[in-house]
Chains A and B, each alone.
Chain A
Amino acid sequence: MNKHIPFRFYKISFLIDKRSLITITSLTLISIVLMIVSLGIGQMQISPIEVVKALFNSSGDMENLVVQSFRMPRILLAVLAGAALALSGAILQGIIRNPLASPDIIGITGGAALTTVIFLAVFSDRSNTLTLSIHWLPLASFIGAIALGFIVYFLSWKNGGITPIRLVLIGVGIAMAVQAVTTMIMILGPIYTASRANIWLTGSLNGTNWNEIISITPWILGMIFILFIYVRRLNIQELGQDLSINAGGFVQKDRFTLLLLSSALAGGAVAFAGGIGFVGLMAPHIARRLVGSAFGSLLPASALIGGIIVLIADLIARTVFMPLEVPAGVFTSAIGAPYFIYLLYRSRNQ
């Protein structure tokens, strides 16, 4: 068993998988390099070395301003939102025991979208000006994500518990219904609302500022901390209901908490970055290929890959069509949709 390192210290003991440790370390390094490179690319090109210098001084010159005030928050948001969506997807895939599950597909992001357009429709006056500060928008989408998570959960409830297959079917159904209502509100609402909502729905990181980072960071990190405690339970959940009960797990209680956690993570991401599609599906899946199914490795790997995907998507979104800016969600969906079809195709015989 030289592929594993037992770690024992006083009463603490773990078994560390060497390969996963190496993969996760590499992914972390790739993320950092990508962040630095990405900080330098834009209308004003800055070399990676200059970026690092600009990060650690406060000279107030142009490079310093661009890197620290304009690009840094945006890049941090890309990484955080990507990580949150990926974790949300990884949790869902674990409790539903299906690699095709993701917050987009069972409607959690759809719930966030609905409350967002409702927010824009309700708080706009006749001259299309918002009557409430736009800063409340993330709260609205967050409430939507959690509420939808709850609705799907309770509708899936039957005979004292939820079953994964009911959760998926009801999730897909609710997602459709929610989408229909969202579209209806956008059509009936003022034009300003429609275009604004549309950009947000596709997922755009344009105009991110430090205030948003300050609001989202504790939220996401808090959720990641709770998730960290739940790793063991996720592992046992993934063996299915009978074997979780056999091992002494609290299946229904854990399913509820994990679904809530998944909604909260997706809600947090969607609230600040919009509906960046398919990250919750792709990232955990790629991570599973790299580090396997044990959540101790799968969760960190998924989070890092999710961050990398959104980072790259946003880099393309803001540079390729310069000076025009395209929502990052367009690119994640452009890769994600074929990837989803590929997964469906591959699982057709199972």
Chain B
Amino acid sequence: MDAITTNTLTLGYGDEDIIKDLDLHIPKGEITVFIGSNGCGKSTLLKSLARLLKPKEGSIVLNGHDIAHTSTKKIAKDLAILPQSPVAPEGLTVLQLVKQGRYPYQNWFKQWTEEDEEAVNYAIRVTGTEDLVDRKVDSLSGGQRQRAWIAMTLAQDTDTILLDEPTTYLDMTHQIEILDLLHDLNEQENRTIIMVLHDLNLACRYADHIVAIHDKKVFQQGDPDTIITPQLIHSVFGLQCQVTCDPICGSPLCIPYSKGRHMKGVNNDETTVNKQPIK
């Protein structure tokens, strides 16, 4: 069963198309990662799946319902998106931010029901933000802030969660921390996670399903173990690399050819160095 399907989806701003006639199937209960070079439209695609951008043509179906004909509040209970580097209003506390995730469930009279409290407490607990609840979001470090935002997204209590580069600006420890959290949410609660990641090796580790986007289309999609090859990386990113096996997870590990300082004793074969002309 698919969480999301798109039918001949065309996206773009003005006259320019960014995604053209896309038919995509995103499996339910799995982690799907969009990869592709800068500006290939992976963020645009993610936004459109969460109705933040209207398609020029085609349709998007979420759990069997066309999102164009579903009420936005109903969608908000099924799907949540965390955009890239969101900015919180000055002076807003973490608790106030996480509470906003309950918006689709609330109305003027019901602003803090027991379910709201439970969902917010749950989100704060799993993201490890208990000690931050009364802190101001703008005073937090990058990793803490990102966890606060993810807590808000979780408080929305949706089966499908979309994240646009949730690890941007984070150091490696915090990147792993966030991705492990998403992995657990998928594993333990069977939530569908769809995200854009820049780091190919982390994408290969965490994704059940990779969608490589290139030239307004899906270039290839599937299990990272089968689709991540030097040919794919070269076609999608224009980069020469070797693909080996991740010594820890056993997933594909891409090691690019490049210039740089070479260790003594390593054979530096001229012919394999990236010979892409500098654009």
Q: Which residues of chain A have a CB within 8 Å of any CB of chain B?
A: 1, 3-4, 6-8, 11-15, 94, 97, 99, 160, 229, 232, 235-236, 238-243, 245-250, 288-289, 292-294
Contact = CB atoms under 8 A, between A and B. Distances in A.
B265 interface: no
Contacts of A7: 112
B112 A246 contact: no
8 contacts: A7-B112, A15-B99, A235-B100, A242-B47, A248-B73, A250-B72, A293-B90, A294-B96
A186 B133 CA distance: 55
B164 to A, nearest CB: 9
Given A8-B112, A242-B47, A246-B52, A236 B90 contact: no
A160 B54 CA distance: 10
Closest 9 CB pairs of A and B: A248-B76, A248-B73, A247-B103, A15-B112, A248-B104, A293-B92, A293-B89, A293-B91, A238-B89
A1 B110 CA distance: 19
Contacts of A4: 95
Contacts of B107: 232
Contacts of A249: 72, 103
Contacts of A232: 103, 106-108, 111
A245 B88 CA distance: 15
Interface stretch (B55-63, B78-86, B175-183): B78-86
Nearest to A93: B89
Interface residues of B, number: 45
A246 B110 contact: no
Given A15-B99, A240-B86, A6 B76 contact: no
A12 B104 CA distance: 16
B74 to A, nearest CB: 8
Nearest to A236: B103
A3 B112 contact: no
A133 B100 CA distance: 50
Nearest to B87: A240
A14 B108 CA distance: 9
A97 B104 CA distance: 21
Nearest to B81: A246
A294 B92 contact: yes
Given A4-B95, A248-B73, 12 more contacts: A1-B133, A3-B134, A12-B109, A99-B90, A236-B100, A240-B86, A246-B83, A248-B72, A248-B77, A288-B90, A292-B92, A293-B89
